Amino acid sequence: MRSRRTTIARSLRSTPTRAGVVAGCLLLALAACRPKPEPQLRIGLLGVASSAMSATSGLEAAQRGARLALDELNKGGGVLIGGVRHRVVLIERIADDRPDAAAQGARALINLDLVDVIIGPQLSAHATAAGAVAEASGVPLIAPMATNPAVTAGRRFVFRLSFLDEFQGVLLARFAYDSLRARRAAALYDPASLYSRDIVRIFGQTFGERGGTVVGAELFSREDGLDYRTQLRRIIAGRPDVILLPGFAHPDSIQMRQARALGFRGHFLGPDSWDPVELGPLDAAKGSAIVGNWHWRSARPESRQFIAAFEALHHAPPRTNAAATYDAMKLVALVAARAGSLDGTALARALSNAGTYAGVTATFVFHGTQNPVRGGIITRLLDGSDSTRWIEVSP
Amino acid sequence: MTLARGWRGHGVLRRHLSLRLAVGFLALGVTVVLLVTFVSYRSAEQALQRRLEERLNGLADLGRSSITEWVAHRRDGLRYVASSIESFVLAPEADHAHSDASAAGLTQHLKSAAVLQRSDVRLIQVPGGRVIASTDSTLLGTYAADELYYAGARDSTNTQRIYPTPRDGRPTLTIATPVRSGADQTVAVLATDLDLQEAERILPQRRGDVPIDAYLVDAYREFVSAERFGRADYRRGAQSEGIARAARGEEGGGMYVDYQGRPVIGAWRWLPDLGVALVVEAPQLAAFEPARRLLESSLLVGLFAIGLLSFGVVAIARSTTRPVLALAAAAGRVAQGDFTSEPLVTSDDEVGQLARSFNTMTTQLSSLYRELSEQVTSTTAALDDARASRSLLQGVVDNTTAIVVVVDLENHVRLANLRVERVLGLGPGEVLGRSVAHAFAGDAGTLLLAALDETRAQDAVVEREVVLGAVESHTWQAVTFPLRDVAGTTYALGIVASDLTERARAEEERRQHDATVQQAQKLESLGILAGGIAHDFNNILGAVLGHTELALATADVPADLRESLTEIERATRRAAELTRQMLAYAGRADLRREVTDLRAVLTDVLALVRASQSKKVEFRVLPMRLPLWVEVDPAQLSQVALNLLTNAAESIGDAVGVVSLSAGPSVPPSAPTDESKAGDAMCSWICFTVEDTGEGMTPEVRRRVFEPFFSTKRPGRGLGMSAVNGIIRSSGGVLQLESVVGVGTRFAVFLPAAADPDSQVRADAPATPMSRTGTVLVIDDEAALRRVCRRALERLGLRVLEAADGIEGLARFREHREELGLVILDLTMPGLGGAEVLTIIRSERPLLPVVIASGYDHAESADMIATDAITRFLQKPYGLEALTRIVGESMP
């Protein structure tokens, strides 16, 4: 017996065996010592850098809103998910102003940054492309400002916070007909933009139903340069009371000035891509009616609180996109806590069944859909600098 | 087994050399096999890896060129289609609205382009970006103005790097080429999304023993292939080292864990034009299968070989160790003393040589052992003898009265007997090693050293007298002498000293002893002389007494004569007492005990002492009213009283003094005076005291006063007081002595009291003369006694026959055998003694009463004659009364 015990002991004393044993012990110790990864709720903010976009939907606003929400959430100790407190981590990726770039941004957030949820991008075209990736990977994506139905159509993981284009078109048509008493309307738009096409289509449909007449619909391509006068002349020739310009703020402001220069005295109608703050000082824009998600002087309690916090930080009024991104962040935290899990499917299910959520921009009602039931506003640019008037419209 | 004793361990391995060899070989062999197998496995594995890596790299390169070629081919095809469209479809004035017919025609044309089969092709109008013709009808009328390929293809053929399609996020590779008008103006863009499934199909996939998988991954780790894309397992793309490194733009190969968690060998390439990574992988498990098979087979073969070799080793070791074991067993037997065993020599090899050498060695050892044994035996015997001699010598030396010391040449004691230590007052062995000066301190040491030096210097015996002794200083006669070895060299010095003081004392003692013996011999002869005189004197006294009593018995004796006769009778009786006392001194006294009146004895003795002592000594006697009965020998009691009174009177000497005598019942000696028991105690002890006013005794004298031959009186024999002490002690009494120098001495003698004998005496028949008839034969060699006896018996009316000796007595006995009534027989007669005569008388008349008369005491006579109812004893000299009583008893 002794000799056997000695043999084993001797074999243990041999250098290679000892080295192996020591290495094994070290590995075990390392495994035991390795810090447990901190529980995190990883939110990817996908922004698009675009010179064409106004601050309304701009990247910086989105970042400010998201960071404010992030700060508030983590100050409150993070999010309690499944009984474990998770710190909220925001990963920002900025994509080029192209759908494929947005899709790649989403892919990078999902595959490389391993985010649990994506917020953004703002524009429908981008959101549609990014949403395709998110849908394919089963990662929830919330587009705070995208209005086009294609963004969420047929998808389970892609959500929005804004109203749909149809809502805008109907709202503008009603307002033009009822409030502005317009009977003749015209539109100048880029047919390559799905957003514009849809708004024009629905506006025309609704305006016609009301009894108005669409006297002209002119197209332009962004490849054509910034001279829209050919089309504007043709429009003005139709003597419209209102001209719908469902493009983006920057080209539209040129179009407005060119229209005024050509002698147009009526009102312009603008969708939510218009930034009332930027357009306010523009003379050509006076009297315009703009559909929006939110007004920066909203009296809603949630809004007032948000505005105060935002202004204290940045000494400037928040843009709609900031408020909408802030809402998206808070909503994600809320449903993650409710889902009790970071699994994409669970999060998506919790989002679509979120019920009523009183956000900064509006009160959202999710009842098993990707799109919330919510209201909007119409802002009128009045004479005088920075003077607006707005009405809130129920859904 | 013998070998095993040499080993300290107990394990089986430690006991069997062959087993140990086998196990060692096995362990070593297994280690070597494992090592070799492992090394060969590793090298095989590395070789396989290297080969596979090369192959995979080759395949990756092949795949890359295939893909590139494939894309180029597609691009060329697209260009061709674009040129074919230019010629007939597009008018220079084409505006936004095309007729459906022309669009349908275009679509048909696109579909028919065989080179682009299985790919979606669409024609996009420039400017505006509207899709005016498409093989995918759903795209017709959509806008591609935002697309990168659209912008890029305005001037030249353009390949958009792989990207997720906005429709479903699927990775897409789009090639676009301008369609130009005749004026070399781009009027449209022809774009096609390549079928990536097809792209993967051209990748080098292999099945077989080592399956090789090749796939494309985009920069975001997304699978490009339609088959893998969107699979639930890899919704967040595929992660592996190969993919990551390829996505970083590297190319290479190596071993890693693939996206499924399998260990693989892989090669990766980055295709920057397409924005995809090409990964070619083979599972390690399959890749290293040959190495593993090699490992298994080499292990199997190696271990089998080692096992076989181990058996071989055991067998060889057995055959090698067998003679060794035999040798070991033989060695073991030799170790146990058996020299007869010889290992079997079976071989001529080294073991055989060893065995032969062993045999020779054993033989030599055996003889050597025998010799040694004999030597040891003789040496042991010699040693025993030497020990015995030494012990004897030691005993003798130790017990001699002389001092024996041996010192070395440095005067250190090397040997000393017990006497030395005793004389010097040292413990056993303490003297050894000391120097002479240290051992014998003082003058003795100096003297001895001088003697030793002299001995050493002169090589001669030197004698000196030294004074030694720790307790008692004695003078010793010391002799120092040299001790020489065989060669005559002095190696030590001896000192022998004898005690002169002790010798002188011994001589003195011997002289005293001789004197004592002479005294005793003198006494002995005096006793014998006295005994002889006393015997004859007794007979004379017997005659005087007998005749006096006969004369007194005569009725008509005048009063003055009667008084004289009475005085004669009393003096005769006292003379008889003295004779008896003399016999006692001579050792022949009859220590008869009888109840005696102490008062009477004291009165008698006092009269005697008064007459002999100086008139200046006054004797005061306290009155004694009653007789004091004690059971002692009256003669001895007289002697005691005489001695005490004489000594008391002599202690006063010529001075005026008083000797007081008192006697009476007493308390027991040294007993507490208890009043309650005083009455009884008084009755049981009698005490008489003799007190004088003499010079008293010194303590020295008082200590030795009872020693025999001690005397303070010049003419004294020194026996008086020792006799007194002996008599009182043998009588059961106690003697007490008080003495103060210059004041006086007091002796008290305590004796047990005896009962009053009067009642018994009265009960005895009074010795009144009565008339009797019968014949009595008196045999005695003393004629005077015979005559007294005859007269006394005849007065009783008896007929008396006389015989002068034993022979005559027997003749008379035979003559008058039948008429004899009593024989009075003297025990001590010349010729035929009384005892012999009695024996003959008893043989003839067994029941004839005989009275034995003797001057010796009864106990001494009884040794010769057994007294009984018909054989009585009569102490000589006897009076008439005693004779009359004993005749009366014998002839009732």
**What is the b/e burial string over A75-91, where b = at least 16 CB atoms within 10 angstroms of the residue's CB?**
eeebbebeeeebebbbb
Cα angle value B3/B9/B12 (rounded, 5°): 75
Task: Give the pLDDT of residue B718.
Answer: 58
Q: Which range among A288-292, B395-399, B563-567, B591-595 shows the weakest confidence by mean pLDDT?
A: B591-595
Higher pLDDT, A337 or B665: A337
DSSP-derived pairing of the beta strands B744-752 and A213-219: unpaired
CA-CA distance, B132 to B622, in Å (whole number)?
192
Most confident stretch, B167-171, B252-256, B415-419: B252-256
Sign of the alpha-carbon torsion through B336, B338, B344, B345: positive
Distance from CA of A99 to the nearest CA of B (A): 6
CB nearest to B169's CB, from A132, A193, A219: A132
Which residues, at least 6 apart from B253, have a Cβ–Cβ distance to it below 8 Å?
A: B53, B56, B57, B60, B265, B266, B267, B268
The 10s digit of each residue's pLDDT in A79-134 is 999 999 999 999 999 988 888 899 999 999 999 999 999 998 988 888 999 999 99
CA angle at B184 for the pair B183 and B186, rounded to the nearest 5°: 110
B213/chain A closest Cα distance in angstroms: 22
The whole-chain average pLDDT of chain A stands at: 85
Q: Name which of A290, A282, A246, A286 is nearest A264 in CA terms.
A: A286
Of B128, B166, B235, the CB nearest to A138: B235
The residue with greater pLDDT, B824 or B639, is B824
B165 vs A: CB within 8 A? yes
The residues pairing with A53 across neighbouring beta strands, listed in sequence order, are: none
Contact list in A for residue B167 (CB cut-off 8 A) is 132
Residue A123 · residue A57 · CB < 8 Å: yes
Please write the tens of the pLDDT for every residue from B443-483: 888 888 888 888 888 888 888 888 877 667 788 888 888 88
Binned at pLDDT 50, 70 and 90, residue B95 comes out as very low
Residue A68, pLDDT score: 94
**A107 has a chain B CB within 8 A of its CB:** yes
Letter for the amino acid at A59?
L
Question: Which pLDDT does position A27 carry in this prediction?
Answer: 55
The answer to whether residue B499 neighbours chain A at the CB level (below 8 Å) is: no
pLDDT of amino acid B670: 65
pLDDT at B377 over 60: yes
Decide if A223 and B128 are in contact by the 8 Å CB cutoff: yes
Query: pTM of the predicted model, to two decimals?
Result: 0.55
CA B765 to chain centre: 83
Residue B416 has pLDDT above 90, yes or no: no
Residues of chain B numbered 93-132 and touching chain A (CB < 8 Å): 96, 126-130
Residue B723: count other Cβ atoms within 10 Å of its Cβ. 18
Q: Do A112 and B220 touch (CB under 8 A)?
A: yes
Q: Are the CB atoms for A237 and A212 separated by under 8 Å?
A: no
Give the pLDDT confidence score for residue A5 in this predicted structure. 45
* Chain B residues in contact with A134 (beta carbon < 8 A): 169
Min distance B151 CA to chain A CA atoms (Å):
10
- Residue B850's identity, in one-letter code, is V
Specify the pLDDT at position B346. Answer: 66
Regions of chain A with pLDDT less than 50: 1-17
Is B892 at the interface with chain A, CB within 8 A? no
CB contact under 8 Å between B220 and A221, yes or no, is no
3-state helix, strand, coil split of chain A in percent (to 5) is: 45, 20, 35
Helix (H, G, I), strand (E, B) or coil at B2: helix
Distant-in-sequence, close-in-space partners of A319: CB < 8 Å, separation ≥ 6 = A55, A56, A58, A61, A275, A277, A296
Greatest mean pLDDT among A212-216, B337-341, B695-699, B718-722: A212-216
pLDDT digits (tens, 9 = 90+) for B233-261: 788 888 888 888 988 888 888 899 988 88
Question: C-alpha angle with apex B887: B881 to B891, nearest 5 degrees?
Answer: 150
| Structure tokens belonging to residue B605 | 């003795």
Instruction: State residue B608's pLDDT score.
Output: 76
Judged against a pLDDT cut of 70, whether residue B29 lies above it is answered with yes
What is the Rg, in whole angstroms, of the alpha carbon atoms belonging to chain A?
27
Look at residue A51 in the predicted model and tell me its pLDDT.
60
Contacts A193 to B, Cβ<8 Å:
143
**Pick from B127, B146, B222: CB nearest A125:** B146
How many of the other CB atoms lie within 10 Å of CB of B555?
5
How far away is chain B from the Cα of A19, in angstroms, using its nearest Cα?
16
Q: Which of B746, B716, B762, B781 is nearest to B645 (CA)?
A: B746
Q: Which residue has the higher pLDDT, B341 or B542?
A: B542
- Provide, as residue numbers in chain B, all residues whose Cβ is less than 8 Å from the Cβ of A7: 27
The DSSP-derived string for A146-186 is: ---GGGTTT-SSEEESS--HHHHHHHHHHIIIIIS---EEE
Residue B738 pLDDT class (50, 70, 90 cuts): confident
B135-151 residue pLDDT tens: 888 888 888 887 888 88
Backbone angles phi, psi at B251, to 5 degrees: -135, 150
* Residue B677: pLDDT over 50: no
- The span from the CA of A60 to the CA of A322, in Å, is 8
**If contacts are CB pairs under 8 Å, which of residues 214-253 in chain A contact chain B?**
219, 221-224
Question: Is B152's Cβ below 8 Å from some Cβ in A?
Answer: no
Which residue type sits at B70? W
Question: Do A76 and A337 form a contact (C-beta atoms < 8 A)?
Answer: no
> Does pLDDT of B821 surpass 90?
no
Structure tokens at B318: 């057995």
- Scanning B59-98 for CB atoms below 8 A from A yields 96
- B131-134/B120-125 β-pairing: antiparallel
How far does A385 lie from chain B, in Å, by closest CA?
35
With cut-offs at 50, 70 and 90, classify the pLDDT of residue B226. Answer: low
Considering only CB atoms, A104 lies closest to which of B130, B164, B237, namely: B164
What stretch of H or E contains B76?
helix B17-88
Chain A residues touching B10 at Cβ < 8 A: 2
Residue B269: how many CB atoms within 10 A of its CB? 23
Please name the member of A104, A110, A223 whose beta carbon is closest to the beta carbon of B163: A104
Q: Would you state the pLDDT for residue A31?
A: 53
Contacts of B143 in chain A (CB under 8 A): 191-194
What is the overall mean pLDDT for chain B?
80
Complex ipTM value: 0.78
A114: chain B residues, CB-CB within 8 Å:
236
Residue in chain B nearest A101 by alpha carbon: B163
A-facing residues of B in 223-282 (CB < 8 A) are: 229-230, 232, 235-237
Q: Are A124 and A151 in contact (CB under 8 A)?
A: yes
Q: What is the DSSP letter of A111?
A: I
Q: Which residues contact B637 (CB under 8 A, 6 or more apart)?
A: B596, B598, B601, B630, B727, B731
Q: For residues A247 and A53, give the distance between their C-alpha atoms in angstroms, rounded to a whole number.
A: 10
Whether the Cβ atoms of residue A199 and residue A214 lie closer than 8 Å to each other: no
Q: Which of A185-199, A310-324, B87-101, B822-836 has the lowest mean pLDDT?
A: B87-101
The predicted-structure confidence for B752-763, as pLDDT tens digits, reads as follows 888 776 654 443
